[in-house]
C-alpha cells in the first residue's frame, strides 16, 4: 500500500481542487510555442519532454518560461480540457496565474496554481500522484 504525505504550499495563487498523476518537468516550459493547446502535448523542440502530454496531470515545474502570451495559451488549453489539472511551482509566475484566472473568469473552469518551498517541490516532483484540496493542501502518493 502506498504511503501518503501531506504538504502545505507557501502560497495558493489560484485556489481549487484537483487530482491526477504527477508530471515533473525537467526544464521550465513556455506555454506560448511550447504547448499545443488542442492536444495538451509539449511541442517545444528544445524541451527535454517534447511530445509528452500535460492534460489532466499535476504539473510540477520550477517556473514558466517566456512570453506574456503564454497566459492565453494556458487559458485556451483549460477551456479545451487539455491543460494540467493543477500547476505546482517553485517560483511565482504571474503569467501562469493570469492564464488560470482568465479561464476561471471566462469559462468557470478552475486549475489550481500553487507555489511550494524547495523540499516540498522535490517531494511532489518524485511522487506518482497528488491530490490538491480546495484550501491548497497537497497529498502525495509516494
Q: Residue 67's pLDDT is what?
A: 74
DSSP-derived pairing of the beta strands 129-132 and 4-7: unpaired
Residues with a catalytic annotation lie at 67
Task: Quote the domain boundaries for residue 31.
Answer: 4-141
Whichever domain contains 127, its CATH number is: 3.50.30.10
Q: Residue 2's pLDDT is what?
A: 77
Count the domains in the chain: 1
CA distance 77 to 58: 14
pTM given for the model: 0.96
Q: Residue 1's pLDDT is what?
A: 66
Backbone torsion region of residue 44, taken as left when φ is above 0, otherwise alpha when ψ lies between -120 and 50, otherwise beta: beta
Amino acid at each position: 500500500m502506498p504511503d501518503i504525505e501531506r504538504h502545505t504550499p507557501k502560497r495558493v495563487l489560484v485556489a481549487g481542487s484537483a487530482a491526477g498523476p504527477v508530471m515533473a518537468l525537467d526544464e521550465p516550459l513556455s506555454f506560448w510555442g511550447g504547448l499545443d493547446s488542442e492536444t495538451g502535448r509539449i511541442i517545444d523542440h528544445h524541451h527535454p519532454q517534447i511530445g509528452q502530454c500535460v492534460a489532466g496531470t499535476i504539473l510540477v515545474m520550477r517556473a514558466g518560461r517566456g512570453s506574456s502570451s503564454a497566459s492565453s495559451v494556458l487559458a485556451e488549453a483549460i477551456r479545451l480540457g487539455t491543460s494540467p489539472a493543477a500547476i505546482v511551482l517553485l517560483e511565482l509566475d504571474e503569467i501562469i496565474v493570469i492564464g488560470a484566472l482568465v479561464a476561471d473568469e471566462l469559462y468557470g473552469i478552475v486549475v489550481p496554481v500553487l507555489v511550494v518551498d524547495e523540499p516540498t517541490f522535490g517531494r511532489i516532483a518524485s511522487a506518482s500522484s497528488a491530490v490538491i484540496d480546495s484550501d491548497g493542501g497537497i497529498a502525495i502518493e509516494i
